[in-house]
Structure 1
Amino acid sequence: MMAKAEPSYTIPSRKYFSTSLIPDMHKAIQSKVCDLVSAQSDISLTSDAWSNLSIGVSLLSLTAHWLTKDFQRKQVILAATPLDESHTGEYLTSKLNKLFDEYNIPK
């Protein structure tokens, strides 16, 4: 279809999207979220682990919540990261600590 609409346009390769465009977008968005979270004087964090054994997926989520100066609730999902090991307290703590480090959240 694109060849008929614009014959001189070359669609970027899958490799370009997966190794360049998407990682760059992720870094830019993560940087903005990091700045937003670190600008708050007080935040609350919630986390949850979810598993679907029938398809073999387990995720750990982390969400930041805060109130603005005019008391509007704000929240941002920081992560939904895969869990690849048994969900022991030690493993979950290590995963959360890694996320805290990524977003410069003091422990």
Structure 2
Amino acid sequence: MPSYRVTLSPGAMRAGVDPERVIPTMADAAAELVTVEASDVQLVRGTPRIVVRFTCDDDELAEQVAAHTASVASTVVEVVGWFLARRDGGRWKRVA
């Protein structure tokens, strides 16, 4: 089964939201639909990115999971942008 990851660029926190809730909120949203393998925050050129990695059957479902995850994330943090990638051999490739 292919492995995917949704990577989200967060902006400002929503009022009253504990920053510690952002990653679990995203992981829980994805877990409603698929099996979550991992979740983490990364710094890329000094900019935070939240990553949720999961498995599912195909790109179409993965796109739905990623959109749902970003939508739920928008309830706790401003979503500046997000993208979906699929593991292809030893590399991650964006899903168009």
TM category (shorter chain) comes to: under 0.3
Structure that is richer in helix per residue? 1
Give the TM-score taking structure 2 as reference length. Answer: 0.23
RCO comparison, higher one (Cα < 8 Å, 6+): 2
Structure that is richer in strand per residue? 2
Whose Rg is larger? 1
Give the TM-score taking structure 1 as reference length. Answer: 0.21
